[in-house]
Amino acid sequence: MIKVIIFDFRDTIINVKFSYLNRNNYLWNYCINYCKVESIFNQKLQEARNKVIEEHTGNNTISDWNNLIFETLFKNNNYNFSEEQKKKLYPILEDIFITRVKTFQDALFLLNYCKNNSIKTGLVIDGTKQRENKILDTYNLRQYFDAISISEEIGKNKFTDAVLVDCVNKLKQKTNFTPEEVLVIGDRIDKDIIHAKNHNFKTALLQREEGRYVQQNQALLEEHKPDFVVKSLTEIQTMLEREAKVKK
C-alpha cells in the first residue's frame, strides 16, 4: 500500500514548454544585434546547452543551470554584454519563465486524490530557491505538499540523492512508512529513478507525449528499469484507486 508519493517538479507537476519558448524568444531579441536569424540563434543556444551538459554533467553542486548556459552562449559567440547588462537581463528572463509555467491537470487531480486519501506527498526540485519558491507561490502549489526540498537550499543537486533524502527525512516527521510504501515519480532515470531504486522505493517513470528526456531515458531503461512506466499521472491515480479497492 502506497503511503507516500514523492514527485519531481518540471515535466511532472509543471509544464515548462512555453516557459522555455517565450524566454528564449526574448533572449534572441535581446541578442539580435549579434544574431539576426532566430533559427541560427536557437542553434547557438542549443550548442551552449550541449557544452554545459558535456562539461558539467555529474557536477553535483550546480543548481542554476540556466545562467550557466547563458554565460556560455555569450562567451562562445562573443556577445559582449557588460556585467551590469546581464545583471538586469537575468531577472527579466526569470520572470518570463515563471509567468509562462502551466500546471498539468493530471498532476492536480492526483495531488487532490492524495490529499483526500491521506497519502503524504513530497516534492524534489532541481533549481534555485528564488525561482522555485516563486513558482510554488505564484501557482498556489505549496498547499499540495507535505514536504518540499530544493537543491540550492541543500547544496547538492539531483545528480545525487541528497534532495530526495532531505525530502524523505522531512516526511518522516509527518508519518511512519517503510521503503516499500514510498513511490517516487519523475521523468528522468538518471535524476529520479536511480536514486529512488537505491533506497528500495517503488518507482514510476513518467514519459509524457512531448517529454524532453524520452530518448535519454531509453538508453538507461534496461539497466535501471522502474517499477512502472506511465504516459500520464492519471495512470498512477487509477493504480492507487485499484489498490484501495483491493484493501477494502
The pLDDT value given to residue 248: 60
Would you say the C-alpha torsion 109, 228, 126, 1 has a positive or negative sign? positive
The pLDDT value given to residue 223: 78
pLDDT in tens, 37-96: 999 999 999 999 999 989 998 789 999 999 999 999 999 999 999 999 999 999 999 999
The pLDDT value given to residue 124: 98
Closest CA to 124 of 94, 93, 79, 161: 161
Closest CA to 132 of 113, 108, 158: 158
Instruction: Show the cell assigned to 158.
Output: 539531483
The pLDDT value given to residue 245: 80
| Cβ neighbours of 179 (radius 10 Å) | 12
- What residues does each domain of the chain span? 4-15+103-247, 17-99
The architecture in CATH of the region 4-15+103-247 reads 3-Layer(aba) Sandwich (3.40)
Residues of the chain with pLDDT under 70: 211, 213-214, 248
The pLDDT value given to residue 85: 96
* pTM of the predicted structure, to 2 decimals: 0.94
The pLDDT value given to residue 212: 78
